[in-house]
């Protein structure tokens, strides 16, 4: 039976035929473009982030939001956070210091802005990709 099945290996060690490796250390990205249903995106993304103290494998590690819907997305995430009324806990204590330093450095250079609302931390990247390409 396994010879005809597609195996999704989340350990990254199986070399079985008909298998797809899904390494556990890969980053997950969500893209919210200007045609997106922002409310639905927030309703899907935020609970995933709050589950398992932020360790849910279903939560995106990075959310890229089109600038046309950025403010609406931030407001909607904040409203969704209030609606869910869950405690925000993080098990990333060791990573918090490095993350905070990176954001502080980016803010001091005018490259990013930290947004804190209702227990959520969101980073608004100020530098466009075109500007970043020019600085490489």
Domain boundaries, the chain: 2-135
What pLDDT is recorded for position 133?
47
What pLDDT is recorded for position 20?
75
**Exposed e or buried b for every residue in 61-85, given b needs 16+ CB within 10 A?**
eebebeeebeebbbebbbebbeeee
What pLDDT is recorded for position 135?
42
Q: Which parts of the chain register pLDDT below 50?
A: 132-136
Return d(Cα 64, Cα 119) in angstroms, integer. 20
pTM of this structure: 0.66
């Amino acid at each position: 039976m396994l010879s005809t099945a597609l195996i999704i290996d989340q350990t990254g060690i199986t070399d079985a035929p008909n298998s797809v490796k899904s390494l556990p250390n890969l980053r997950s990205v969500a893209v919210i473009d200007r045609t997106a249903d922002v409310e639905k995106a927030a309703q899907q993304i935020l609970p995933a982030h709050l589950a398992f103290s932020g360790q849910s494998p279903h939560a995106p590690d990075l959310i890229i939001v089109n600038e046309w819907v950025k403010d609406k997305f931030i407001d909607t995430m904040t409203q969704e956070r209030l609606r869910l009324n869950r405690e925000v806990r993080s098990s990333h204590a060791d990573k918090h210091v490095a993350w905070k330093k990176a954001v502080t450095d980016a803010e001091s250079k005018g490259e990013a802005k930290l947004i804190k609302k209702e227990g959520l931390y969101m980073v608004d990247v100020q530098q466009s990709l075109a500007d970043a390409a020019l600085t490489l």
